[in-house]
Amino acid sequence: MVECRVARSGFQAEDTGAERFDEASGKKKTLRQANVPVFPPNSIIHEKYVVVDEIARGTFGKVLKVKEINNDDDTYVMKVQDCTENNASYLAEFLVLGRCRGVAGFPFLLDRFSFVRNDQHLGCLVTSDEGETFRTTIQRRNFFILPSNILKIGWRILAALTHLHGLGLIHCDLHFLNVLFRRNWAGELLVTLIDFGHCRSQDSPNRRFNGVKWHTPIRVAQGQDYTIYDDIVSMTYLLGLCCGVNPFGNDENTFLDRKVRFHADPMSYFGLQITQWIPNIHKILDRQRQQGYNREEIVRMFKTCIPEVDPADDIVYTFAENHIHIH
């Protein structure tokens, strides 16, 4: 789901039009309007949920923060999509949430229902509230966090992707609005993937996407099919941002040229030896595209690239004024 105006815990949609922040520059861009009705605060949906706020809007629908009518303590996330003519995105989302229910790194699917409003068939998925976006959290630290924490974040994203890939699926839209951070009851910082409307089967004939975005893997930008390797490539782009590496700039017209230059020598963009494991992933993936996927090779690199740091250890952070501050 493409998100818009910065709010308390991520991005908030405007009441009119459909806009989003460009992933690199943060500037607003107009999107095709999602064909979903407005649900103002305090609206009742399905005689069970009351709307707290609209927190996101995109081309497939809207995302609402909701509470149960008889439970004022907990908030949930409700994704509302127009299924009148095309429900492929809704079904993809439901498929992933259903098959990943209870798995670390994924929202917990709580409810699914549909209803008709003004001859429009609306599908709704209700999940746990998984916190604030990667972009919000990392931007709060001016895009610089400890290399050990970058490693731990990458480890958790890789684990979630591994589970998804094990189901024969590819995310196909991994960017910094689709990765969330949340503190659990024990104080551990969780990393969660969201927005599975673009997911494809690994053998689907429909694995090509038009347009080049900041997070688009270079091979996909060049017109090739999306693969499991490309999900991991998008992950490395995000990890680079955590140490201030933005090789693609802010102008979407130059993204492809900059991606070509970056992939010609990714190591040169990472000045610190302690972060060069990030571009090294590209070298590993380039080789594996020819020889076959070997997750264990990537796992070994994660476990050995920073001495005395276990990537499975807790992410170090502080929580102040209701905000997460990753060290």
Length of the chain: 327
* DSSP conformational letter for 254: G
Q: What is the CATH number of the domain that holds 205?
A: 1.10.510.10
| 123 & 194 share domain | no
Residue 101 · residue 145 · CB < 8 Å = no
Helix segments in 178-225, DSSP class H: 218-221
| 169 & 124 share domain | no
| 200 & 318 share domain | yes
Q: What is the pLDDT of residue 33?
A: 57
Domain boundary among 128, 145, 164: 128
| 149 & 113 share domain | no
Q: Is residue 164 within a helix (H) or strand (E), and if so which, with residue range?
A: helix 147-166
pLDDT in tens, the chain (327 residues): 222 222 222 222 222 233 444 444 444 454 455 678 899 999 999 999 999 999 988 777 899 999 999 988 899 999 999 987 778 899 999 999 999 999 999 999 999 999 998 888 999 999 999 999 999 999 999 999 999 999 999 999 999 999 999 999 999 999 999 999 999 999 999 999 999 999 999 998 888 888 899 999 999 999 999 999 999 999 999 999 999 999 999 999 999 999 999 999 999 999 999 999 999 999 999 999 999 999 999 999 999 999 999 999 999 999 999 999 999
| 58 & 154 share domain | no
| 99 & 214 share domain | no
Domain boundary among 107, 128, 149: 128
Q: What is the pLDDT of residue 3?
A: 26
Q: What is the CATH number of the domain that holds 83?
A: 3.30.200.20
Using CB atoms within 10 Å of the CB of residue 285, give its burial: 0 to 12 exposed, 13 to 18 middle, 19+ buried: buried
From CA 271, how far away is CA 19, in angstroms rounded?
36
Helices then strands, counting H and E runs in the chain, come out as 8, 17
From CA 240, how far away is CA 272, in angstroms rounded?
12
| 81 & 162 share domain | no
| 182 & 280 share domain | yes
Q: What is the pLDDT of residue 20?
A: 43
| 104 & 141 share domain | no
Q: What is the reported pTM?
A: 0.89
* DSSP conformational letter for 39: -
Specify the 3-state DSSP secondary structure of 101: coil
From CA 226, how far away is CA 173, in angstroms rounded?
10
From CA 34, how far away is CA 20, in angstroms rounded?
12
| Overall domain count for the chain | 2
The beta strands (E) that lie in 118-234 are given as 120-128, 132-133, 169-170, 179-183, 189-193, 200-201
Domain boundary among 111, 128, 145: 128
Q: What is the pLDDT of residue 211?
A: 85
Q: Which two tokens stand for residue 120?
A: 């429009």
Specify the 3-state DSSP secondary structure of 191: strand
Residue 82 · residue 61 · CB < 8 Å = yes
Residue 326 · residue 316 · CB < 8 Å = yes
**Residue 59 to residues 33, 39, 89, 124, 308, Cα–Cα distance (Å):** 6, 16, 10, 15, 45
| 111 & 16 share domain | yes
| 235 & 269 share domain | yes
| 123 & 137 share domain | no
Phi-psi region of 147 (alpha: psi -120 to 50; beta: other; left: phi over 0): alpha
Q: What is the pLDDT of residue 265?
A: 97
Domain residue limits at 280: 133-326
Specify the 3-state DSSP secondary structure of 296: helix
From CA 309, how far away is CA 136, in angstroms rounded?
26
